[in-house]
Amino acid sequence: MSDIEMIRAARARIAGNLRRTPLLSAPALDAIAGRRVLLKAECLQVTGSFKARGGWSAVSAIAPEVRARGVIAFSSGNHAQGVAHAAREHGVPAVILMPQDAPKAKIDGTRALGAEVVLFDRERDDRDAMGAALAEERGLTLIKPFDDALVVAGQGTLGLELAEQANEHGVTSAEVLVCCGGGGLSSGVALALEAEAPGLRVRTCEPEGFDDVARSLAAGEIRRNDRLSGSICDAIVTPQPGNLTFPILRRLCGPGLAVSEDEVLRAMALAFRHLRVVIEPGGAVSLAAALFRPEALTGETAIAVATGGNVDAALYARALSTLE
């Protein structure tokens, strides 16, 4: 089980290897939201998402003689790059299983980080069996995307940074809006804030129609999504909250929020214009909630975590077309 000591230990392993991402703001966004909005620009993290934190935390914690044989992960996107980056920096091999219809940019990006990409057919192949066979054959260690205590601890390092930065900005009370898939980041940040900034409370944010976490929090037990495809926020669409993460979310987070795809695209465009950072759809759900769900929030300040910035140019251009 993850706890604050694991998060602090992860931070010590990460120190000097990843970025402390900035906390940004713009008067125009405050005006839209009707309250102060601070954006934790984690899209500027190495590899373009917070997944570099969890990847580093997990890879760096493996015993060196085991790690030397390599690591393996399943991912079509940000987790792939986070694990590949950590493996490369540790000088060990990474094998990433990706669906063959994954965006070319993400496959290329993962290969550019030195990983061996093994493509599978979503219809024909048994991904888990392929991964298990590879791991067995080569002695690879599996790095899970969120339901792993070391991964949660790595994502929690964002919360430690945020606690410091909120303090630097004079913020002692705020809701922290976190884009939420399986809950690895949300639960890690919630644990960090519980210890270091108890006036800051996590609210999970999801796309409408894929709000398994919000419904699970409301029900007090895990609920599944009816469907897993058809969202522009694919980076944060997962079947259900994790078995490890959900109890943490239930204990520490406020009610979940959900926003529409149109609101996500507008949030991306407003971040382009007023903050000059590139946010991917799954990473802009939090900013969309800060801007367009004022009635669901409380307090003078909302902190939105922009979790990633890996977005295809065509989809980004579509977001920009929402500007006047």
By CB under 8 A, name the one of 112, 132, 218, 228 that touches its own copies.
Answer: 112
Which strands make up the sheet holding 257-259, listed edge to edge?
23-24, 36-41, 301-306, 174-179, 200-207, 257-259
For its own copies, give the closer residue by CB, 201 or 274. 274
By CB under 8 A, name the one of 15, 66, 133, 323 that touches its own copies.
Answer: 323
| Span near its own copies by CB under 8 A; candidates 16-24, 52-60, 148-156, 288-296 | 16-24
The three-class DSSP label of residue 81 is helix
Q: Which residues contact 113 (CB under 8 A, 6 or more apart)?
A: 47, 81, 84, 85, 88, 94
The three-class DSSP label of residue 58 is helix
By CB under 8 A, name the one of 200, 248, 267, 275 that touches its own copies.
Answer: 275
Does residue 32 interact with its own copies by CB under 8 A? no
By CB under 8 A, name the one of 72, 222, 237, 277 that touches its own copies.
Answer: 277
H or E stretch at 157? helix 149-168
- Of how many residues is the chain composed? 324
State the nearest-atom distance from the C-beta of 223 to its own copies, in Å. 33
Does residue 44 interact with its own copies by CB under 8 A? yes
Report whether 82 contacts 49 (CB < 8 A): yes
Does residue 262 interact with its own copies by CB under 8 A? no
CA-to-CA distance for 101 and 120, rounded, in angstroms? Answer: 9
Does residue 15 interact with its own copies by CB under 8 A? no
> How far is residue 91 CA from its own chain's centroid?
25
Does residue 48 interact with its own copies by CB under 8 A? yes
The two tokens of residue 44 are: 């500027």
Q: Which residues of the chain form contacts with its own copies (CB under 8 A)? A: 19, 21-22, 24, 27-28, 31, 41, 43-44, 48, 105, 109, 112-113, 269, 272-273, 275-279, 309-310, 313, 316-317, 320-321, 323
